A and B are shown apart, each in its own frame.
Chain A
Amino acid sequence: MSDPITRPTVGAPRESVDPAAVEEKREGTLPRGIDRLGERKRARLEQLAQATADKGGVSLVRDAFRRLRRNPTAIVGASIVALFILVAIFAPLLAPHDPAQRFDELTKNLTVDNIPGASSAFPLGSDPLGRDFLSRMIHGSRQTLFVGVLATLIGLALGVLIGAIAGAFGGWVDNILMRFTDVMLALPALLLAISLVAMASRSSQWTVILAVAIVNVPIFARLLRGSMLAQRESDHVLAARALGVKQGSIVLRHMLPNAMTAVIVQATLTLSTAILEAASLSFLGLGDPDINRAEWGLMLGVDGQRYFEVRPELAYFPAVAIIVVALGFTLLGEGMREAIDPKSRR
């Protein structure tokens, strides 16, 4: 049966009780009925019109940024992320000691069931090998950022490639690629990562990064493809096609850039899950075997787990750091999503 509600009715859009929408209707450029008025009145009327019609003409991106700046979620997220990146950049300057160095003062008191706590020289005490825990925490920001960013970027690059091909060509290419992503999505993320790590004879930092990256490939691919398919039917792409713009050029100039906003938001959110997934792999003993490497996931997953009874701080500090940073990326990503699509705002 036909659906009558989509039929446009003349001059009578549905009324809304949303005050913002009602107000929107009041704004806009004025007036044509003023020609019979006196000069003074006309000026006043125009001035009134100006007051209500100052909006409009702001580009979409600027609008999104404006919303982003006013969104407390995004601001908190961005601040956490900025702080995290600053610590990572200036880690060598901030850390009081070499994170790989074992200190005699610490090792001499070190036993299986005693790990030295805070002292004036070592504010967070020792790690299980007699190294300065604070310095390792500070340096850990670098490695954590490195793992998270790299895993996300590789996942994004591969996913965007697959998604763009599927979205641009459609048809059987799309079909095969999407069935492929279906298969990958059918596997629980951690199990997929485990099987990927298992393909290497020895695990290393790179196996972790690659495994986490590949887990995210189908997500990026699906996202980009979905958004490109939606655009294939959109007015501006149809217009470009009608103007005789070449297919490749339409994809590169029109479809891809628009679809990328959603991908960038997803990448921000993925940074958070990538760090968590890397920590999980470390916890399962599939992480980086390098004992000198200071990375939060590794510190939490290996030492934090092993010495939880002896010195739970070894778990608490990296865990809190991971939680805060993951939260930061999530908040920033959510904020960006709200800024780009105000409808999603709740």
Chain B
Amino acid sequence: MLRVIVRRLLQLVVTLIGLSALVFIWLRNLPGGPIEALLGERATPERRALLVKALGYDQPILVQYAKFMQRLLTGDFGNSIRSGDPVTEVIGRAFPATIELAAAAMIIAIGLGVPLGYLAARHRGRLLDNMSIAGTLLGISIPIFFLGYLLKDVFTQNMHWFPPSGRISTGVDNTNVTGFFVLDGLLTREFDATADALWHLILPALTLATIPLAVIVRITRASVLDVLNEDFVRTAEAKGLRHKTIRGRHILRNALLPVVTTIGLQTGALLSGAVLTERVYNWGGLGTLIYNSISGGRDYPVLQALILLAALVFVVVNLLVDLSYAFIDPRVRVR
């Protein structure tokens, strides 16, 4: 078990070093060169000279890379060109919004996807199954920003069920503790704030959940079908166990193993989707930050940090998934 963790950690470090090298090369090849990229076009010659010195761009490339790595490890990403604030601060403000959105989307995707996938497999070839297959195919074929506009149009413009955009209504008094508005409301006992935040959260989370939901339904269905063919399910039936026991202990406990892996891999899709979804619902998270740092004057210091952060989140989540896998599946656990 320890050996597995160590090996996975090493792999993670190698990936992150490779990524930093790639970002370093990327930064050097941006239009106008790295100095302009990091300072913006309107910087004074003095500041440029200062940065050249600080980055070591008058020195050999390996020294430059070493300095680059040093800055990464100390968390020094410079200042945003747009706002002038430190990049870490800018990202820190947006981070909880995206995590809140992504977590809500994942809860929806798992909560709906697993039961639906299971039912589709049990009713294989029948109406429910065919409908869920059609649904998942549609889910992966629809541009999600279009789906977002569609949902927004129907549920806010026409039916007024949900607010059209933002994370919280103006006038709702919420104390910022963690930055997760739903959580903050609970912590400070401002339950109306929690309700309002949830109310704002539903449509964006549904939109973002589309693709992970489709994928989870498909994987669950395929996995349950595999397990249904297993001999141990027949053994369970031969024991005369109740449906509930067979479903939970014998089918789902085995069938969900591949689904867990999928959940890790869907983190990437969630981050991609967040860029689009946040733009549709004007959700002030990382996605909006990515959009702002690329359109209307490129904010490369922010973008650079976002790339590193996204990759870090992805590899860490997948590491956690792999490790949790080792706890769920006894065959992996024991050496």
Are A and B in contact, CB atoms below 8 Å, in the complex? yes
Known A182-B15, A186-B15; judge A280-B294 contact (CB<8 A): no
Contact with B along A182-202 (1 / 0, CB 8 A): 110111111100110111110
Q: Which residues of B line the A interface, CB within 8 A?
A: 11, 14-15, 18-19, 22, 26, 29-32, 124, 137-138, 140-143, 145-146, 149, 153, 221-222, 225, 268-273, 275-276, 279, 290-291, 294-295, 298, 300, 303, 306-307, 310-311, 314-315
* Alpha-carbon distance A330/B307, docked complex (angstroms): 29
- CB-CB < 8 A to B300: which residues of A? 198
Q: Is the CB of B315 within 8 A of A186?
A: yes
Q: Is the CB of B307 within 8 A of A195?
A: yes
Instruction: Classify the secondary structure of A's interface with B.
Output: helix
- CB-CB < 8 A to A182: which residues of B? 11, 14-15, 18
CB distance from B281 to the nearest CB of A (A): 13
- Nearest residue (CB) in B for A285 is B295
Q: Is the CB of A323 within 8 A of B30?
A: no
Q: Which residues of A line the B interface, CB within 8 A?
A: 179-180, 182-183, 185-191, 194-195, 197-201, 272, 276, 279-280, 283-286, 297, 300-301, 304-305, 308, 312, 315, 319, 322-323, 326-327, 330-331, 346
Q: Is the CB of A284 within 8 A of B295?
A: yes
Q: Is the CB of B149 within 8 A of A195?
A: no
Q: Is the CB of B153 within 8 A of A189?
A: no
Q: Is the CB of A198 within 8 A of B298?
A: yes
Instruction: Classify the secondary structure of B's interface with A.
Output: helix
Q: Is the CB of A304 within 8 A of B146?
A: yes
Q: Is the CB of B31 within 8 A of A195?
A: no
CB distance from B85 to the nearest CB of A (A): 21
Q: Is the CB of A308 within 8 A of B137?
A: no
Q: Is the CB of A300 within 8 A of B143?
A: yes
* Alpha-carbon distance A145/B310, docked complex (angstroms): 31
List 21 A-B pairs, Cβ < 8 Å.
A183-B18, A183-B22, A186-B314, A187-B268, A187-B310, A190-B271, A191-B271, A194-B303, A195-B26, A198-B30, A198-B298, A198-B303, A199-B29, A201-B31, A283-B145, A284-B279, A300-B146, A319-B146, A327-B141, A330-B140, A331-B137
- Nearest residue (CB) in B for A190 is B272
